[in-house]
């Protein structure tokens, strides 16, 4: 029988952590107590919690390789603080690069590789009963100075075999509505050059893309609606099954199941999909059944760039998908990598022109990132072959092809990093305001005051988007001509002050729209 010592999972806890949630629910089903601690807590606070609970196992969810040094520092603090139980880790980096992770986090006793529900349960059972856990499948561990990797178990074909994930208390989304994250399936059939999802799901063997039964996904939604008062559902699938195996049978079945239990007009949901999967008739039906927000992976605004990224997508298809969403009144966010290893000043201008096409009506805020060379991606391999890859404690980066582009990127992030990335930056605040109005629109509560505030908000987003894009164009010319080498400091100091002033003013105005 399970003993009283709990299993502690240390993971990012900003939202539902579905990976930790599934592990917890599987363990609880076998009688084990589990707790999750937010990785972002102070190390001493985490240490205090572990001393108080005296765990049987501590599991680290290393899903972001850029945080490996922080995980290593935490593991060191815990060991030095007297926590002597079994330390294990899981996640993409841990699964694909166990040797490197053992070198970076010396305190680990084992690594659970790839999908961990069965492996982690078996590990916990063996540790609880004093058994020999080293013979289990899908583990890595040290033995006599060497790293041993046991045979991998194939991916689970039937995701519905697992119980619903354990969850922390649900948080509010907007307008008093609680939200939960959820999945319709796991895996992705696409092979973008910057993504390692395919590599993660190919390695163990088995079907790379698995989809849950629509009926059971709706059953989980119904449970959360009735038991926890949840009305907003954010699907976390890398590629939501809008079109599974070339057809839309799954999503049609999903909507029919919502109708059967009379939930289609009581909940809202968000998905991730490709722009070329968006069609007018289908998405009109999805909106009727609660779809209010779509995240689309645009990534590049040029056909040449999309080809380099192996998106198997065209700019025309992207613009068509965005137009359909706008015409239907469905909100959208997007991924866009303005800065890439092969970026030139010309490609920057072309991509800025594309952002003008989709953002200057105020429908969605401008946002962008730098393409980061995630491990085991084609981009990483190419940069390594070119001698351009920069590595530090599991973190990968690169320089651009010219010093002026390097300087431009640094300047852009100094000027607009807070605006684009931070939780309290204008882009993020504008997204939440957009969601606020989208929820009201779906709830049929758009009274005259709300409509007026929404129009005012759209005007603010239009003005701020135009300012951001105009400034980026100005900076592009300034650095391409290398004018910045002559009087750069004074010009950039003045520009930085101007950007902060505009940013803070627009943030205040957006917040006032939601009062």
Domain of residue 43, CATH code? 3.40.50.280
Q: Residue 283 contacts by C-beta under 8 Å, 6 or more apart in sequence?
A: 291, 324, 325, 328, 330
Residue 427 belongs to some domain of the structure: no
> Which two structure tokens, joined as six digits, stand for 118?
């069965």
Does residue 294 belong to any structural domain of this protein? Answer: no
Predicted local confidence at residue 13, as pLDDT: 79
> Is residue 315 assigned to a domain?
no
Chunked mean pLDDT (size 10), the chain, 515 residues: 83 86 97 95 96 97 84 97 98 94 96 98 97 97 96 96 95 92 95 94 90 98 97 96 85 97 96 96 97 98 98 98 98 98 98 98 98 96 97 89 97 97 97 93 76 95 98 97 89 95 98 89
Which residues on adjacent β-strands are paired with residue 446? none
- Distance, in Å, from the CA atom of 122 to the CA atom of 32, rounded to the nearest integer, reads 12
- Determine the pLDDT at residue 246: 67
Nearest CA-CA partner of 320 in 275, 289, 256: 275
Q: Which of 95, 233, 234, 237 is nearest to 159 (CA)?
A: 237
**Helical (H) or strand (E) element with 185:** strand 185-186
Taking residue 183's Cβ as centre, other Cβ atoms within 10 Å add up to 18
Give the per-residue pLDDT at 445: 61
- The closest of 384, 360, 375 to 459, measured between CA atoms, is 360
Backbone angles phi, psi at 177, to 5 degrees: -90, 135
Closest to 157 measured CA to CA, from 212, 210, 113, 200: 210
Residue 346: per-residue pLDDT: 98
CA-to-CA distance for 472 and 469, rounded, in angstroms? 5
In-domain check, residue 488? no
pTM of the model: 0.96
Please, are residues 436 and 176 in contact by the beta-carbon 8 Å criterion?
no
pLDDT value of residue 444: 66
Task: Give how many domains the chain has, as a whole number.
Answer: 1
Domain range for 123 is 7-149
> The tokens of 128 are what?
């609880």
Q: Which of 420, 416, 408 is nearest to 478 (CA)?
A: 408
Any domain includes 186 = no
487 falls within a domain? no
For residue 144, is it within any domain? Answer: yes
Angle, helices 448-480/345-359, rounded to nearest 10 degrees = 170
What pLDDT, on the 0 to 100 scale, is given for residue 16?
80
Within a domain: 452: no
Q: CA–CA separation, 278 vs 321, rounded Å?
A: 5
């Amino acid at each position: 029988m399970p003993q009283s010592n709990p299993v502690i999972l240390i993971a990012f806890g900003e939202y539902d952590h579905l990976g930790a949630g599934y592990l917890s629910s599987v363990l609880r089903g076998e009688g084990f107590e589990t707790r999750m601690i937010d990785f972002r807590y102070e190390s001493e606070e985490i240490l205090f919690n572990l001393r108080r609970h005296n765990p049987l196992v501590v599991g680290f969810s290393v899903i972001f390789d850029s945080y490996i040094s922080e995980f290593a520092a935490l593991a060191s603090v815990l060991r030095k603080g007297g926590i002597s139980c079994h330390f294990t880790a899981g996640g993409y980096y841990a699964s694909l690069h166990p040797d490197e992770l053992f070198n970076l986090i010396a305190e680990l006793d084992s690594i659970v590789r790839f999908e961990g529900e069965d492996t982690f349960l078996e590990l916990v059972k063996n540790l609880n009963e004093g058994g020999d856990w080293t013979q289990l499948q899908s583990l890595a561990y040290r033995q006599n100075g060497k790293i041993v990797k046991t045979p991998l178990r194939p991916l689970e074909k039937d995701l519905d075999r697992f119980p619903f994930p354990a969850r922390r208390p649900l948080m509010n989304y907007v307008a008093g509505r609680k939200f939960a994250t959820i999945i319709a399936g796991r895996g992705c059939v696409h092979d973008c050059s910057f993504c390692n999802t395919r590599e993660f799901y190919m390695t163990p063997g088995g079907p790379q893309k698995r989809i849950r039964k629509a009926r059971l996904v709706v059953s989980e939604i119904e449970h959360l609606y009735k038991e926890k008062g949840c009305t907003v559902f954010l699907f976390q699938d890398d590629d939501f099954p809008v079109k599974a195996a070339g057809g839309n049978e799954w999503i049609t079945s999903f909507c029919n199941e919502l109708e059967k239990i009379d939930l289609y007009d009581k909940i809202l949901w968000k998905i991730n999909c490709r722009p070329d999967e968006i069609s007018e008739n289908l998405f009109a039906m999805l909106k009727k059944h609660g779809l209010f927000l779509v995240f689309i992976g645009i990534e590049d605004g040029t056909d040449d760039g999309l080809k380099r990224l192996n998106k198997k997508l065209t700019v025309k298809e992207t613009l068509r998908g965005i137009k359909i969403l706008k015409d239907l009144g469905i909100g959208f966010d997007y991924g866009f990598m303005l800065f890439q290893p092969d970026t030139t000043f010309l490609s920057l201008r072309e991509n800025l022109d594309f952002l003008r096409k989709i953002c200057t009506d105020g429908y969605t805020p401008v946002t962008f990132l730098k393409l980061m060379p995630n491990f085991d991606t084609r981009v990483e391999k190419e940069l390594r072959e070119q001698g351009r890859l920069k590595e530090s404690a599991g973190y990968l980066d690169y320089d651009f092809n010219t010093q002026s582009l390097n300087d431009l990127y640094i300047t852009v992030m100094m000027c607009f990093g807070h605006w684009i990335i931070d939780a309290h930056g204008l882009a993020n605040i504008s997204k939440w305001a957009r969601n606020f109005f989208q929820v009201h629109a779906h709830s049929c509560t758009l009274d005259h005051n709300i409509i007026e505030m929404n129009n005012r908000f759209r005007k603010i987003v239009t003005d701020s988007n135009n300012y951001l894009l105009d400034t980026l164009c100005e900076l592009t010319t300034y650095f391409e001509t290398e004018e910045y080498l002559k009087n750069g400091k004074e010009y950039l100091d003045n520009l930085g002050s101007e950007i902060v002033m505009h940013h803070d003013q627009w943030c205040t105005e957006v917040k006032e729209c939601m009062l």
